[in-house]
Amino acid sequence: MASTAHEPRLTILIPTLNEEKRIGKTLDALADYLKKHKYNALVMVVDANSTDNTKAVADTAGKRFSHYQFLQTGPKVGKGKQIRDGMLAATTDYVMFMDADLATPLKYLDEVYNLIEHNGKIAICVRNLGESHTGIRKFISTFGNWLTQTLIVPGIKDTQCGFKAFERTTAQEVFGRQRIVGWGFDMEVLAVARKLGYPIELIDVPDWRDVVEGSKISGNGAMKVAIQTFGDLLKIKWGLIIGKYNKVSFRYAPYKD
């Protein structure tokens, strides 16, 4: 569905932390795709106080968009905080996030616009974990997802793909209850969405690619992230049991330039 209205219905969040080497190329590719398909979107780079030239590079590339914002979320805490802040700052009908490495091809934006056209609530991309990773990351992701499905979100074969879209009021209800700011936030928001009864549409991404260069979780970092994420999984399960997610903890906070 091409969005031709002057005001966009979709905000695309891109979290960054010292991404000067690739954010420009990512934004250029996104601008080209949106223009080619006549999609109207607000692009918001959500940055954790990068110490390199991320802002300057992003702002230069951002001039290619009709609607662009750069949101600083404060010192590095975790990707989860950046996404939560962006979700709660968005004012469009729908809001999604994607990673700066373009691991998920931009063609899946078509599925997001299909979600908008049919007034859906949530759509997430899911990978084939048996093929998308290799070595220790393959074992960690496969075992981790088995555990995640067993404990909190049965039927969702991949919670960690960085390409998820939400209807705005749904996002406010879900991300307003999010507590985890590290890598486990994806599991948490999906568990919360399930608890609240929102349908979650799954989009298969067989051509997702593992971008190792510039990755924050390559090498020894993968095991560290796995340990943290498994700990988060137990926190989420316990939170569901004790009713921690019954009330919204964080409220809508509109973007300020």
Q: CATH code at 157?
A: 3.90.550.10
**Within a domain: residue 169?**
yes
**Within a domain: residue 254?**
no
**Within a domain: residue 249?**
no
Flag residues of the chain having pLDDT under 70: 1-5, 130-142, 212-222, 257
pTM: 0.90
Contact call for residues 31 and 109 (beta carbons, < 8 A): no
**Within a domain: residue 253?**
no
Q: How many domains does the chain have?
A: 1
**Within a domain: residue 252?**
no
pLDDT for residue 137: 61
Domain housing 69? 10-242
pLDDT for residue 13: 98
pLDDT for residue 220: 58
pLDDT for residue 207: 94
Tens digits of residue pLDDT in 109-165:
999 999 999 999 999 999 987 665 555 566 666 677 888 999 999 999 999 999 999
